[in-house]
Structure 1
């Protein structure tokens, strides 16, 4: 159960296809292994224990990720869209002695070495001064930094075994042999790293990589969705991984007449609660969407819905290597999990890990209700998970963002961003329709429509586009005060 073994099995077959500037280049398993060993030798001759890297979605990223494992070094992939402040924070926390980038970093001074992979990708290697060496947990192969709800990412330490265990379980659960997978999420996002690279390669498949700007991304946001659709049409993949925002994008295009490639067999969606109504809409439009659930502490995926055991309302069957229990509505997991948080106490593998997620479980299937910390208790003492009405509001693909509030208040309110093509009247009708599906205490009585979406740059979203509820509440404090004084819906 090794990615390197899978590359050996793909010795003469295309394992990775790189797309750049209207060109494509195929790399066999043998060609990838040659570059991995070349870089691993450089790492092995270095005194560095840990190596941080920040690259675009290219084969060079895969090479660095694998080479750290071959050289027995700790890999610290940093998201390409992290701000300079976040990147500096990660580098200060992680103890990496080397930092590798696909562009010169003037703030780090002169690079000590540059290497070119596949005669195309030039990488710049910087020596970092580490004030105090970090003691990593035994077996740490990767430290993935979650964006968190604050601006300071948290380092989750993972072993090779935990990552490959998830990848292998996914291969068995999904059951598609030799899949063609197109990576749409940044590779440092653990879900794409494990489920989008390791799992397809273990299944004898081929991974297609494209720079994020050619997929339509600017920073962490999708600014040119036409490019994303064009990439899917061009590659004709069998599998994709989406976050809810990308799912709503695909649905919007399909409603406008776009025909998804018939090659698509399986689209996993995760990262936030998705309503079953939205998934049903996607399937009606020939998008074979299946919801999953996971977290970095479990090396990405905990459960996944699949065609073999489909339940549209669920986040699927728990992967076989994970144990679960529920206490007071909260999910606890045990098994091959993370080793601990960087610079904190280790995680005891015999202990249950509290996920912070509210779920119900029927048989071995999970039904996600929302985050424990996003539980709203109204002034009438009613408990409402914010994600419940939010997921229903977002079932309209023209609505891109919805954040619900109401802690200690007599009714719920929301901040909403919808594309301009959706009129205020249509939005009002949609909200009436949604409220009809909710009990009175969970209905969103008033909302504020934004002229511009919430963004990471404003400090209102995490880097994986989850709302920073406290920051949003403070930003729109005057609006919320008006909600509970005035009778009408307010738009900006």
Structure 2
């Protein structure tokens, strides 16, 4: 198994939060205690769930299950109870790590097992489960439907990604990584924690509420900037909406971000204008691209290998190609597969993203294949194109562009501030239209409420659920095309 570098015992601390500080020896001791607790279960080889906020214990549990070859199922705290139960039932999980007994009991785990950890271990009756041999982690993605889909990943696959990222940033000499995303999100788990370990860096993993993530879908950029300064973070991972909020309030060369050396942004498309604006403020930000099925990161811009507008070059462990219809495909290695399904015979994974590569090997994502609009005049338009321009104005926080089979495109717009009135938004739309050909310009728009995880209109990583949004706002959308041709 390709795992964490256990010879880095000189690092003090290796993991830390507000009241915990472990060097490598202390981490190894905690891993051993967790292993002993897992071995004492009635069914010691059965899959185990973790439902918890960020903490050093979260990481210790992850590494303990790797050492024992036991499948770990991270449950995002932002899932609904129905989604938690679906993940537990389909994976056949027999035990759970969590901080509150009430959650364990509600999910069917009642027998408490003694464990030297701030996260308590409870077990339930044995359940039948799919063949999980070779699987260390089963990651459930919220996607665009209510029923999460499990992706089975090996330990080796995850560490390969971390090693590839480490190879690209090792020269930065990073020593302090601050976790701003949930550990249950594979991007932070692999590209954050594992990569920091390979860098020999201290990973700071305080509760998310201390770093600005409030509840399921609220973000406080002031708290986040204060946390970056308090922990003197040298690397962080952000979602585009987080970067937008931080850029909006940060001063140029803000003292609170002086320690940062590398900021990765991913999870959804990031407007080029936002990246330029963030760098103007002093954020050393680099966009990447990934998929859960590929253990998170596929491509990443890096210091010295950076092209704004692209998502960077594919990592050293990744092969990509562009199909005849423009769809990006990624070569899947190892035994990555969906839970309950056999390994796919076709190893080239269709991503659903339309993309291209330039002559220097930089990858560009142009939009989602299924989202392409065909206007009433027969023009094909990826809505992400005008949407990206809107987001780049700084006036628009979220946007959905539509207009399939219609004579012009329209938009649902969430302003970046309550102070942006209709005239201000119209000015932003006009600015975008000047950069677009006539067939891709926005003819009409309406202002709507934010799309969030809480209202079911966005995923945890900020991707908008287009089908749900179009259904929710169907009446308003119809009004945008009233009297067409009259």
TM-score by length of 1: 0.92
1:380 equivalent among 377, 382, 390 = 377
Q: After the TM superposition, which residues 469-488 of structure 1 pair with which residues of structure 2 at under 5 Å, given as runs?
A: 469-485=466-482
Contact 1:7 / 1:201 at 8 angstroms: preserved in 2? Answer: no
Q: Deviations over 1:393-439 (max 9, x none)?
A: 11133432112212222221121112202232221111111111111
- The CA deviation string for residues 224-278 of structure 1, in whole angstroms up to 9 with x for no partner, is 3322222112112111111111010111111599544221111111111112111
1:97-128 residue CA offsets vs partner (Å, 9 max, x unmatched): 1122111224136631255646xx24242314
Instruction: State which of 211, 226, 231 in structure 2 corresponds to 1:235.
Output: 231
Aligned to 1:167: 162
Bigger strand fraction: 1
Residues 169/110 of structure 1: CA separation in 2 closer, same or farther (3 Å cut) = closer
Answer yes or no: is the 8 Å Cα contact 2:298–2:318 preserved in 1: yes
Instruction: Give the paired residue count.
Output: 476
Match of 2:27 in 1: 32
SS at match of 2:48: strand
The equivalent of 2:312 in structure 1 is: 316
| Distance in 2 of aligned mates of 1:252 and 1:190 | 27
- Write the mapping of 1:11-410 to structure 2, written as runs, cut at 5 A: 11-19=10-18, 24-46=19-41, 47=43, 48-104=45-101, 105=103, 106-108=105-107, 111-115=110-114, 117=116, 121-130=118-127, 132-136=128-132, 138-175=133-170, 176-254=172-250, 258-327=254-323, 328-336=325-333, 339-348=336-345, 351-362=347-358, 363-410=360-407
Deviation of 1:60 (Å): 1.2
Relative to structure 1, is the Cα distance of residues 10 and 433 closer, same or farther in structure 2, using a 3 angstrom cutoff? farther
Query: 1-side partners of 2:483 and 2:240: how far apart?
Result: 33
RMSD value, Cα: 2.0
**1:260 and 1:286 in contact (8 A); partners too:** no
Moved over 6 A (4+): none
Tell me by how many angstroms 1:146 deviates.
1.1
* Equivalent-residue separation in structure 2 for 1:165 and 1:234 (angstroms): 31
The equivalent of 1:490 in structure 2 is none
Q: Distance in 2 between matches of 1:486 and 1:288?
A: 49
State how far apart, in whole Å, the 2-side matches of 1:448 and 1:259 are. 38
Structure 1 contact 389–443 (Cα < 8 Å) conserved: yes
Deviation at 1:156, TM superposition (A): 0.7
Q: TM-score normalized by structure 2?
A: 0.93
Unaligned runs of 5+ in 2: none
- CA–CA separation in structure 2 for the residues paired with 1:444 and 1:126: 55
Task: Compute the displacement of 1:338 (Å).
Answer: 5.4
Report if the CA contact (8 A) 1:53-1:101 is conserved. yes
Match of 1:274, SS?
coil
* Structure 1 residues 203-241: Cα deviation after superposition (integer angstroms, max 9, x where no partner): 111111111222232332124332222211211211111
